[in-house]
Structure formats: structure tokens, C-alpha cells
Chains A and B, each alone.
Chain A
């Protein structure tokens, strides 16, 4: 057969080198400069809140955008990690970095348990199982001693990061959060653009085909679920340190809904979409909180507009424009 096509080798075009898009680098540099300069213009606590939710949404997007799994229980990992970190730092007296580690490990463990049960089902059943399990966790948090029920864990000490950086200073706290955010984002980027991520994409694209190629789909999904849960946990753990408390709000189902909203608004399956989405949702929430106008009405309308007019989300639509394609901003195969 190869003899029939002796020219294959020679007629092959040279490897098209992945174009290292200058525009992409420019965008990254601007974003980084913005992150560094922002606390001098904007209230740092608000920025840190933004970063936490942005990381949360990005972690969620690993499942929805890159694996095709709609989890309705991600508040469990976000809020759960917040509790674990708050407890570890306040009651056990751990340093903030170890506290965060405890939160992340706890969230990963919860992710392993929830994922183990949920990935056996698909579509709406998957979503329902995650919702049911996260409701169970919510009531656990309501009843358990260490969470202090309705009061939550309050006045969590921020401590010194690695014993050096005093996190009570809001600027050093901000830069620590920023560093964690950038690191988390890098991990996500590496994860979805890895050989493993390739298999996840193929599962999202056509699950029966992936099975017929010999992939034990359940294990890949579970891997993605645990990874997503751990990073959602990272976001929650940091949030607990920023606000110095952990409450039931972060484990409630509304939080799971909100992260779906953020991700859809920004654009699923894009690295930066969820960041924009969360900025929009958190920003709107903060702005409207002072006006007394009901936030949910506005976010509801924004969501409807998004679904009706720009289905790919903000970043998804931008990526789809000719200009972005030309500049090489869009990741072609990210769907």
C-alpha cells in the first residue's frame, strides 16, 4: 500500500510551526501589567474577590468547556475549601500556605468522591447528581460543629505567607493572590493543552468514539473532575484568607449557579472567557449592591441577552471575529 503512494513522504508540507502570535503575547503583557498596577486605582479587596471568582470560573470551565461536563455542585469545592482553610489556619494555627494546601487537598478529596458517583451518568443526570451531593454537603456544613453553622468561621487570621510576607498588609495580600491566580491559570492552561487534555477534548467531541479507541473515558473524566475541584478549592481557600471568613454562602447551590453563569457569559472552552464573565458578574453585583436595585434581575437579563445574541460568550465571540483569527488570538481547536 505504501508502495502505491511513494510520493507521500516527499509531498508532505513542512510542519506548520505553531505561530507564536505576537498579538497573544501583547495581550498577556497588557493583562499582567494591568494586574500589577490595578491595586493603585481600584480597591484591592474588590480586585482580590474578582481574582478568586475568576479562578473559580476557570476551574469550572475545565469541566464544562474542555470535557463537556456540566457540574451543578462546584460550590462544594469552593466553599468547602474555604471552610477547611479557615479551620486549619484559625483552629490548628497553620501558616497560610499550609492552610491553602489543606483547602485544596480537601476540595480534591470531595471532588474524588463526588466525581466517582457523578461520572457514571451523563448530561442532566450528571448535573442532578452533582447538585444532590452538593446539597448534602451544604447540610453537612450547616450542621457540623467546626463550621459554626449560620455564623460561619469568622476572623480568620491571614498570617505570614511562608513566614515572610505579612498578609495583613493589603498590597502584599493582593500580590500573593495575584501570584496564586496566575499560577492557577497556568496550571489550567497546561492541563487543557496537554496530551491528557487532548483526550478530554476527544471525549467532549465524541464519547463513543473515544471509547472505541480504547480510552476508559470514566477515568479521564474523573481526572478532570478532581483537577477542576482542586483548583476551585484553591480559589475558595484564597477567598477565605482574603475575607477572613468562610460562610454557608460559598457552599450554597446559588454559588454553583453563579459560576455557570460566569463561565457561559465569558465563553466556555476559552481560557480567558471565564475571567471576563466573572468580572462582569462580580462587578455588576458590587455596583448594584450600592444602588439597592435587585442584582438578580440585571444578571438574569444579561444572561438572557447572552444566550440569545452571543451564544459563544464574550471572549468566544471576540475569538470568532476575523480580526482575532488573523491575529492568531483564537485557539482554533478549542471549539
Chain B
């Protein structure tokens, strides 16, 4: 396996790695998402914001193929993934997190990360070998846990962690796959300030060598972290640009931020 990521010095030139053109999703007669064009760049943090029900999570599900778009095309590093199943998309390097914390609750913290490491290390299908065969993954797993500050919780069950710590664990698990494109659905929601700082720094750090697209409500984090912001409203793109531009847009202020926000 390639040494994962974070410390690796790869080119940090922004280039489009994930692009969606005209994607649309109908549920019955209702269009949850219409005409969405998105370009996600390597080495950039891209925020997707918008009021509740704007279709942010639907866009995530479409990009990661958990939902099949009704129309439109999606390219991942030049490859058309519009009809690709979600697990294949993950293997191609587009990995997502979930809005509600997605850990494996009755596995230990360490095992949560090891499960993610199993597939890239070709240790996922051996049904004849003992679990101790997975101990070779411990070093890498411990590194990842150290990175997010979960070393002390290593042997606890994931279910026993606080909500914020579960989110942190989920990010460690996601990073274990060394994804090319990282889709984070509200990664900071429900976290204490301490975790927010850790995770925000972590996102900034990992985004140096990969693309990050995140849904986030915490606008100060968005302002601080994101290079590019896309605002969704009622399933359509309302505005896009850097945070300054977007936050000055009167339509955005009316639709989303409230007029008093600068």
C-alpha cells in the first residue's frame, strides 16, 4: 500500500478532479436537485452550503453514487462514473463521510480504522486466516488515531465515544483509505470546540494533497477553511465563488445567511 497521504508532498496545483454537469434527481414528481454543475479541485477545500432542505446531502449521495442521478454526468479524474456503483466509486478514490456519525459501534476504535485499512492492504477476503493477521495494520491505524488525537481511546468500543469523538474517528477511518477526493457531510456538526479545532486543522492539512468537498453550517469554519463556496437553494445553485464574494451576494444573504451577517 502506498504510504498514506498526509505527510506526502504531492503537487498541490489545483486541477479539477471531480466534476458534475447538469445533475438532476427526481423523486416522483419532485426535483430534489436540478442543473447542478460542480467542479471540485485538487488541493482545495470546497464548501457546499445552503439552508435546510436545499439538497446538499442529495448532491453528496449523487456524487458518491449512493443515489443514481436522473440526468447529468459525473466525472472523477476524467473517468465517467455516472453509472458506477458506490463501492466501486469508493475504490476509485472518492470517499465520503455521513451526516449522522458513521462508525461501526460495536467494534473497537482500533478495529474501526483497521476495517478501512483491510481492503487497500488486501486483507479483506481471507476467511481462513485468524484475525491476528490484521495486526500488521496496527502501526498505520495507530498513526491515524494519533493524527486525530484518539490514541487514548484506541481500545474502547466506538459506541462508547462521545458524538464529537465519533465524528473524529470517522474522519480517521476515511483518511485510512487515502482518498483522492474527500466528501465530508457536516464534519464538524455536534463537536465541541476542542474537536472542531483539531478537525478543522486536519481538514486543512489533508486538503493540501487532495480535494475536499464539505457540507458545513458553521460559517466561521467555512470562511476560515474553504477556498471556494457553492450555495444551494431548493436544489439549484444560487451562487458560487470565494467566501467573500458569496457572502456579499444579496441573494445569498436573503436566502441563507440572514441580512445581519456580514
A residues with CB within 8 A of B: 1-2, 5, 8-9, 11-13, 15-16, 18, 190-191, 193-199, 201-202, 205-206, 208-217, 223, 227, 332-335
Contact assessment for A212 and B143 in the assembled complex, using a CB-CB cutoff below 8 Å: no
Check B19 for interface membership: any CB of A closer than 8 A.
no
Nearest CB of chain B from residue A49's CB, rounded to whole Å? 29
Check B249 for interface membership: any CB of A closer than 8 A.
no
Stretch at the interface among B123-131, B188-196, B211-219, B233-241: B123-131
Q: How many of chain B's residues have a CB under 8 angstroms from any CB in A? A: 53
Contact assessment for B107 and A202 in the assembled complex, using a CB-CB cutoff below 8 Å: yes
- When A and B form their complex, which 6 residue pairs have the shortest distance between CB atoms, in order from nearest? A8-B146, A214-B90, A196-B127, A205-B104, A209-B102, A335-B106
Given contacts A198-B131, A199-B124, contact A1 B147 (CB under 8 A): yes
The answer, among B7, B87, B95, B118, for a CB contact under 8 Å with A198, is: B118
Contact assessment for B147 and A198 in the assembled complex, using a CB-CB cutoff below 8 Å: no
Contact assessment for A1 and B202 in the assembled complex, using a CB-CB cutoff below 8 Å: yes
Q: Count A-B contacts at CB 8 Å.
A: 133
Q: How far is the CA of A227 from the CA of B130 in the complex (A)?
A: 17
Of A210, A212, A223, most buried by chain B (CB within 10 Å of CB) is A212
Of B130, B132, B134, most buried by chain A (CB within 10 Å of CB) is B130
Contact assessment for A194 and B129 in the assembled complex, using a CB-CB cutoff below 8 Å: yes
Cβ contacts under 8 Å, A332 to chain B? 108, 157
Contact assessment for A212 and B151 in the assembled complex, using a CB-CB cutoff below 8 Å: no
Contact assessment for A214 and B91 in the assembled complex, using a CB-CB cutoff below 8 Å: yes
| Binary per-residue interface labels of chain B (17-57) against chain A in the complex, 1 for a CB within 8 Å, 0 otherwise | 00000000000000000000000000000000000000000
Contact assessment for A197 and B131 in the assembled complex, using a CB-CB cutoff below 8 Å: yes
Contact assessment for B124 and A206 in the assembled complex, using a CB-CB cutoff below 8 Å: no
Cβ contacts under 8 Å, A202 to chain B? 104, 107, 115
Contact assessment for A213 and B90 in the assembled complex, using a CB-CB cutoff below 8 Å: yes
Contact assessment for A212 and B86 in the assembled complex, using a CB-CB cutoff below 8 Å: yes
Contact assessment for B131 and A193 in the assembled complex, using a CB-CB cutoff below 8 Å: yes
Cβ contacts under 8 Å, B146 to chain A? 5, 8-9, 12
Contact assessment for B124 and A196 in the assembled complex, using a CB-CB cutoff below 8 Å: yes
Given contacts A1-B205, A211-B87, A212-B64, contact A194 B126 (CB under 8 A): yes
Check B138 for interface membership: any CB of A closer than 8 A.
yes
Q: How far is the CA of A27 from the CA of B241 in the complex (A)?
A: 66
Given contacts A1-B7, A196-B125, A214-B119, contact A208 B98 (CB under 8 A): yes
Q: How far is the CA of A333 from the CA of B105 in the complex (A)?
A: 9
Contact assessment for A214 and B177 in the assembled complex, using a CB-CB cutoff below 8 Å: yes
Contact assessment for B106 and A333 in the assembled complex, using a CB-CB cutoff below 8 Å: yes
Contact assessment for A205 and B142 in the assembled complex, using a CB-CB cutoff below 8 Å: no
Closest to A199 in B: B124
Nearest CB of chain A from residue B125's CB, rounded to whole Å? 6
Contact assessment for A215 and B87 in the assembled complex, using a CB-CB cutoff below 8 Å: yes
Cβ contacts under 8 Å, A18 to chain B? 132
Cβ contacts under 8 Å, A216 to chain B? 85, 87-88
Check B116 for interface membership: any CB of A closer than 8 A.
yes
Q: How far is the CA of A216 from the CA of B146 in the complex (A)?
A: 29
Contact assessment for A212 and B106 in the assembled complex, using a CB-CB cutoff below 8 Å: no
Q: How far is the CA of A2 from the CA of B149 in the complex (A)?
A: 11
Check B114 for interface membership: any CB of A closer than 8 A.
yes
Cβ contacts under 8 Å, B129 to chain A? 194-195
**Can you list 11 A-B contacts (CB < 8 A)?**
A1-B147, A15-B138, A194-B127, A198-B111, A205-B104, A205-B106, A205-B107, A212-B66, A213-B119, A214-B95, A333-B157
Contact assessment for A191 and B127 in the assembled complex, using a CB-CB cutoff below 8 Å: yes
- In the complex, besides A205-B106, A214-B91, A216-B87, 20 extra interface pairs with C-beta distance below 8 angstroms are A8-B147, A190-B128, A190-B130, A194-B131, A195-B124, A195-B127, A196-B127, A198-B111, A198-B118, A201-B104, A202-B107, A206-B105, A209-B103, A212-B90, A213-B173, A214-B87, A214-B88, A215-B119, A333-B107, A333-B157
The answer, among B103, B105, B115, B147, for a CB contact under 8 Å with A199, is: B115
Given contacts A198-B131, A213-B115, A215-B87, contact A16 B155 (CB under 8 A): yes
Check B180 for interface membership: any CB of A closer than 8 A.
no
Cβ contacts under 8 Å, B132 to chain A? 18
